[in-house]
Amino acid sequence: MQTYNSATEYKERLEIMANQNNNKKTLDAVTPKSEDISRWYTDVVLKAKMADYSPVKGCMVIRPYGYALWENIQQILDKEFKRLGHVNAYFPLFIPESFLLKEAEHVEGFAPEVAWVTKGGNDDLEEKLAIRPTSEAIIGHMYSKWVESYRDLPIKINQWANVVRWEKVTRPFLRTTEFLWQEGHTAHRTHEEAKEEVMQMLQVYRDFVENDLAIPLVTGEKSQKEKFAGALNTYTIEALMPDGQALQSGTSHDLGQNFSKAFDINFLDSDGQRKFAWTTSWGISTRIIGAVIMAHGDDKGLRLPPRVAPTQAVVIPIVYKDSTAVNDKAKELTTRLSKIGIRVQLDDREGFKPGWKYSEYEMMGVPLRVEIGQKDLDKGQVCLVRRDTSEKMFIADSEFEATVEKLMQEIQETLFKQAKEILENKTLRASSFEEFVSIIKEKRCMADLVWCGSAECENKFKAEAGATIRCFNENAVDGNCVCCNNPGKHRVFVARSY
RNA sequence: CGGGGCGUAGCGCAGUUGGUAGCGCAUCUGGUUUGGGACCAGAGGGCCGCUGGUUCGAGUCCAGUCGCCCCGACCA
């Protein structure tokens, strides 16, 4: 509680407060990204109306604008999954406890974060039900019923669903108790075929995140310590945030025969032998929205990549009294963009000054702003302002559609290039342990180093620098382990993570 | 789960030694405005997170509890 030495001091303080409150810019601005990225992130999520806190801990409401972005993400991925021969289905939210217990590693890994239903109405349940943290168990059970012969394979099913993991620390999108995702589950006749599926889906994720979300990645295999509980191997796409922390953005798992043995997914092969199927699973979640926000946003708010932006362009008429001509022109421009497939919005609300609207759409991250006023009408021009570079340009009316289309492409590329620069600048080679610690703790970057493969050294990364192996680096091992100096086994990316 | 901070109008906050709850923004009404967050006049809006305690009296003191933010141990 603040105290004041005198009534005068108190009054002075009141005046200062009043003056501050009159300063609108101070009031409405978000925390600068460079100053405090955590606070900036929260400010932007709320002010851009992506999500809001709900009364339930760790559970956010995804607001229409954030959900529209998710729908665009879903649409692109869903189309690609289907193109590759997957079909959608839906499995239950509740999983009997006994199912979850069948795969030992799986239980152990998920036990600390499973939410349980123990009552139905007023009666205790005979067997408690887990709210799915992931669906390998229930899907494995069903697959065992559906697979009899090698002719039933492969099964390639995807589901769009919500899952619940009881997290201790939560943040909108980046880590929430309940989140939305897709989980693909496939079963194959041979390990080779399953491994192909795993790598193919990793590539799908990589292409999607880099091309559509404009977020550059490092990708590769997880260490055994970091893999999915119950998997043989996990492959990941990892994005690096501007604060040097890695964000696991999607995973693809080679489950080997672990789940098919636990759930008895077996089939009669053409050689008359009964064999266990080889299964995979892969997922990407609403966490990726957090990555988009973090990776591209700036002090003015979001910067959304055109390919997934709910609104790609906004048209703002600059009207004075009785400016029906300007309003008509704004409508015309909106229609013209709509006709060429641009997701466009017209903002002809009265009572908001243009400057106010500019700020709002900048906060929302709309890639392109179209301004049209009497001056433009007179000159036969249109004013365009890019969200990514803030560049303002005047173009001839006749070049309108073509220019907008070109700009969509350019903005997408610029966002990727800028993020790529961050990834490259913040990925540093470490040739000694001291260097590694300094890269993580002082430079706040991701380290690229040689590792012997031992759990001892991996644990030391965590203990000494709070960093984990994000994934293996495909590049050649060119030295000894930075930690113990024994012969190197893997090049790895090591970073702190979200 | 530990350490720190914060819960008062939709949002941001003030509320001094306990004594009838305030400011700015936003909202609503009317008017003037509109090329980077307009102005004037008027109006509405509160279980002071929740529960209990101390007190004649609690936003204020005490205890508990829930939630949010930040920093550390576990995870998509």
- Classified by CATH at the fold level, domain A313-421 comes out as Rossmann fold (3.40.50)
Q: Flag whether pLDDT at A299 surpasses 80.
A: yes
User: Does ipTM surpass 0.85 in this model?
Assistant: no
User: Nearest residue to nucleotide B74 when comparing alpha carbons to its C1'?
Assistant: A168
One fold for A313-421 and A427-495: no
Among residues A239, A251, A235, the alpha carbon closest in space to that of A285 is found at A251
- For the stretch A346-372, pLDDT in tens is 999 888 899 999 999 999 999 999 999
| Cα A490 from chain centroid (whole Å) | 27
| Residue A433: both structure tokens together | 């342990």
Per-residue pLDDT, A60:
87
CATH superfamily of A60-296: Bira Bifunctional Protein; Domain 2 (3.30.930.10)
How many CA atoms lie less than 13 Å away from A334 in the CB half-sphere?
16
The pLDDT confidence band at residue A28, using thresholds 50, 70 and 90, is low
Q: Is the pLDDT of residue A12 over 50?
A: no
CA distance A486 to A161: 45
Predicted local distance difference test score (pLDDT) of residue A39: 82
Which residue's C-alpha is at the least distance from the C1' of B67? A57
Rounded to an integer, what distance in angstroms lies between the CA atom of residue A327 and that of residue A445?
50
Residue A486 (CA) to nucleotide B51 (C1'), in angstroms, measures 60
Q: How many residues in total does chain A contain?
A: 498
CA of A15 and C1' of B16: distance in angstroms? 15
Distance in angstroms, CA of A39 to C1' of B25?
A: 21
Average pLDDT, chain A: 91
Smallest CA–C1' separation from A371: which nucleotide? B35
A79: left (phi over 0), alpha (psi -120 to 50) or beta: alpha
What is A188-244 written as a DSSP string?
ESSHHHHHHHHHHHHHHHHHIIIIIS---EEEEEPPTTTS-TT-SEEEEEEEE-TTS
The distance (Å) linking the CA of A270 with the C1' of B73 is 52
Question: Among residues of chain A, what percentage have pLDDT more than 70?
Answer: 94
Mean pLDDT confidence for A188-193: 98
Q: Does domain A427-495 have CATH number 1.20.970.10?
A: no
DSSP state of A43: H
Give the nucleotide at minimum CA-to-C1' distance from A42.
B69
Burial of A290 (0-12, 13-18, 19+ CB in 10 A): buried
**Nearest-nucleotide field for A167 (CA, C1'):** B75
> Residue A21: what pLDDT?
34
Tokens representing residue A114 in the block: 């499973």
Please compute the mean of the pLDDT values over residues A335-342 and round it to a whole number.
98
> Strand pairing of A115-120 and A123-131?
antiparallel
Kindly report the bases of strand B lying within 7 A of a protein C-beta atom. 1, 12-17, 23-25, 32-38, 60-61, 66-76
Task: Using the structure, give the distance in angstroms from the CA atom of A464 to the C1' atom of B74, rounded to a whole number.
Answer: 17
pLDDT at A29: 65
Nearest nucleotide to the CA of A376, by C1', is B35
Domain boundaries, chain A: 7-49, 60-296, 313-421, 427-495
Most confident range, picked from A117-126, A274-283, A438-447: A274-283
Q: Which nucleotide is nearest to A2 (CA to C1')?
A: B16
CA of residue A496 to C1' of nucleotide B71, angstroms: 14
pLDDT at residue number A43: 86
The owner of tokens 């004075």 is A320
